[in-house]
Structure 1
Amino acid sequence: MPFVRISVTDKMPIEKRQELPKVVYDAMRASINIPESDLFVALHAHGKGELVADPKFMGMQRTANFTLVHITLRRGRTVEMKQKLYREIARLAEERAGIAPDDVMIVLSENGPEDWSFGKGVAQFVEAQKPEVSA
């Protein structure tokens, strides 16, 4: 049930952009055990000056292909799982979309089951945890 926001510039070719949701989904499936069909992505293409990243921060060599991946997910993944996720997203972004690993920034935000509603105004994970009451 992760929710993913991917931000790129509007100068990035649409073919590259369209690969990114699948790249992140496949990396999450391979590294943090998300279920099949659990794909919720908002892809944003920003105009000039709307996506700002220092080109050399932390020793990177960022280009116009800078890609910010922000994943909101439930708590519980190990550091090793998260590191595998970072590596897999960077690898697949380069392999499938030609985006260099230096251009891929990933941020994880964790929360709990009470922080998700998939529709109908219900926190489905909370409802699923309630014990059944017999009549």
Structure 2
Amino acid sequence: MPLIQVDLKRSVFKDKGKEISSAIHNSLVAGLGMDTTDLFQVFRPHDEGEIIFSPTYGNRDRHDLIIIRITMVNMFSLEQKKKTYKELTKRLVDIGIRRDDILVCVVENSTENWSLGEREV
């Protein structure tokens, strides 16, 4: 049950929020083999100047950085993660997001750190 948090410019969210959501979700389904009903996303649109980043770090040309944080249980292989990153980048580029504007961060923990109400995941 990955929890997705997306920080992006408000204008990008207004223009492409639903498409970004779908691209992320479908990438997790394809890359991690996640159940299609496993959908937990939080979008945090920001005004100009609220996302601060280096436009050139790593020899990139960033304009409208989209930060995608995926918090998930440590149970997926490196190959599954790499497939997910590749799927995610392709799907975002296909909807008009620039490759250099994509930043993904995976945070992993154990099942004991998750609860759905009183039930463990």
Gaps of 5+ in 1: 126-135
Higher relative contact order (CA 8 A, sep 6+): 2
Residue 115 of structure 2 aligns to a residue whose secondary structure is coil
Q: When you count strand as a share of all residues, which structure comes out higher?
A: 2
Residue 3 of structure 1 is matched in structure 2 by 3
Following TM superposition, by how much is the alpha carbon of 1:48 offset from its aligned partner in structure 2, in angstroms?
2.1
Residue 11 of structure 1 aligns to a residue whose secondary structure is helix
Residue 58 of structure 1 aligns to a residue whose secondary structure is coil
User: Percent same amino acid at aligned positions?
Assistant: 25
Q: Which amino acid counterpart does residue 47 of structure 1 have in structure 2?
A: D
For 1:37-60, what per-residue CA distance to the aligned partner results, in whole angstroms no more than 9, with x for missing partners? Answer: 100000111112211111111121
C-alpha spacing 1:21/1:13, structure 2 compared with 1 (3 Å):
closer
Residue 105 of structure 1 aligns to a residue whose secondary structure is strand
Runs of 4+ in 1 over 6 A off after TM superposition: none
TM-score (norm 2): 0.93
Task: For 1:54 and 1:11, locate their aligned partners in 2 and report how far apart those are by CA, in whole Å.
Answer: 20
Task: For 1:59 and 1:123, locate their aligned partners in 2 and report how far apart those are by CA, in whole Å.
Answer: 45
Gaps of 5+ in 2: none
TM-score (norm 1): 0.84
Task: For 2:99 and 2:55, locate their aligned partners in 1 and report how far apart those are by CA, in whole Å.
Answer: 13
- List aligned pairs for 1:84-99, cutoff 5 A: 84-96=83-95, 98-99=96-97
